[in-house]
């Protein structure tokens, strides 16, 4: 069974081992990382800092009791905006099995029902067709292209931008019921 749950600093060792084992797999889609990122101490500090800042909701993707990826609601803004961005990755052995699609579906449901958000957005490198499919399967619509949006794999990369609004998500759920 695959699901998501909020992460804690206690997950640092497992996450560090997972990202270390998947370093090559994730490299084309990730920023260049300092070596400390791949250590238990680095993950513990990162998770602690994110939780303390309070503007992100980091989740582990869990299958049969072990972490196989991450799905995060980042840059959570309340007030009039009620928005966040979603980011996700799965281990190489979980890729292509619908795990990312299920994790994004679960975090979107939490964003709209538990966290009370109105909008979730995402960006993908133009060549990341698999990630674009994950978003589209979950009802996200592409609304633009941002030149030089993020520094990925050491280069400023263009990204397609996607969004999903809570009312469109709810209408899709009602239509499926």
3-state helix, strand and coil shares in percent for the chain, rounded to the nearest 5:
45, 35, 20
pLDDT score recorded for residue 154: 93
pLDDT score recorded for residue 173: 82
What is the reported pTM?
0.94
The band of 176, judged by pLDDT with boundaries at 50, 70 and 90, is: confident
Q: What angle do CA 80, 125, 36 make, to 5 degrees?
A: 85
pLDDT score recorded for residue 12: 97
| pLDDT, the chain, mean | 95
pLDDT tens for 25-57 read 999 989 999 999 999 999 999 999 999 998 999
pLDDT tens for 13-29 read 999 999 999 999 999 98
pLDDT score recorded for residue 120: 98
| Helices (runs of H) and strands (runs of E) counted in the chain | 6, 7
Domain 2-176 has CATH 3.40.630.30: yes
């Amino acid at each position: 069974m695959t699901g998501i749950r909020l992460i804690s600093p206690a997950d640092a060792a497992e996450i560090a081992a997972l990202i270390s084992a998947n370093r090559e797999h994730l490299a084309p889609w990730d920023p260049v990382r300092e070596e400390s990122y791949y250590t238990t101490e680095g993950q513990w500090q990162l998770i602690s800092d994110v939780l303390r800042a309070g503007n992100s909701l980091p989740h582990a993707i869990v299958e049969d009791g072990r972490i196989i990826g991450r799905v995060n609601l980042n840059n959570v803004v309340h007030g009039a905006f009620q928005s966040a961005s979603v980011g996700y990755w799965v281990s190489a052995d979980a890729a292509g099995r619908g795990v990312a699609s299920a994790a994004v579906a679960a975090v979107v449901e939490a964003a709209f029902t538990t966290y009370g958000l109105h909008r979730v957005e995402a960006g993908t490198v133009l060549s990341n067709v698999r990630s674009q499919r994950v978003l589209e399967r979950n009802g996200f619509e592409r609304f633009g292209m941002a030149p030089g949006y993020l520094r990925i794999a050491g280069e400023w990369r263009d990204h397609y931008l996607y969004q999903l609004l809570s009312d469109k998500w709810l209408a899709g759920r009602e239509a499926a019921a």
